Amino acid sequence: MRTSVKVKICGLTRRCDVECAVAAGADYVGFVLVPSSKRFVPPERRRELIADLPASVRSVAVVADPTEQEVSEIRKLFDIIQFHGHEPPSVADGTHSWKALPASTAPERFFEYRVEHFVVDSDCGGSGRCCDWHRAALAAERYEILLAGGLSPENVADAIRQVKPWGVDVSGGVELSPGIKSREKIQHFIEEAKS
């Protein structure tokens, strides 16, 4: 029997949306620490957003090309760092580290990283476009991946059937506007992903 797919609700900016994701059964809650993002969470709001999470839910910091000092500081606050930039394997390394790569990435590129999980995304991460599910499925045969890119309550069950990922990662597909989530969409997405 297949283990239930893990679900990450990403791009959270409001405490009420974090609580909604937790109540709906999310396994991971993600926060974007990239200043250029429409979903950027400034340093002064981060502790409030992740306070008192249940032990079953882990916090994920999404970063792009951080310095070693920034990585050290982020690790003090968040459970996992998801590297979304051009980080070399020496930076995006080890347990509690995830590396986001486009589905079009050459298979040998994955070999370079020693991370807990890969997030397989579209070529334009954060664009809301679906990635190549066929290429993602090939990656899922070798690694425990989180499938990202263009997922929504309407297509996540089909994506899981085709790709067989370890987990799924959604942001825009459960939003009313960038950073503002829909309670109904979050609930529907998680129900579809875990059914």
Catalytic positions are 10, 121
Question: Rounded distance, CA 175 to CA 185, Å?
Answer: 7
Report d(CA 59, CA 79) in Å as an integer: 5
Task: Find all residues with CB under 8 Å of 44, minimum gap 6, and list them.
Answer: none
Q: Residue 128's beta-bridge partner residues?
A: none
Query: How does 91-129 read in b/e, with b if 16+ C-beta sit within 10 Å?
Result: bbeeeebbbbbbbebeeeebeebebebbbbbbeebbeee
Q: Which residues, in sequence order, are CB contacts of 175 under 8 Å at separation 6+?
A: 11, 181, 182, 185
Distance CA 74, CA 53 (A): 17
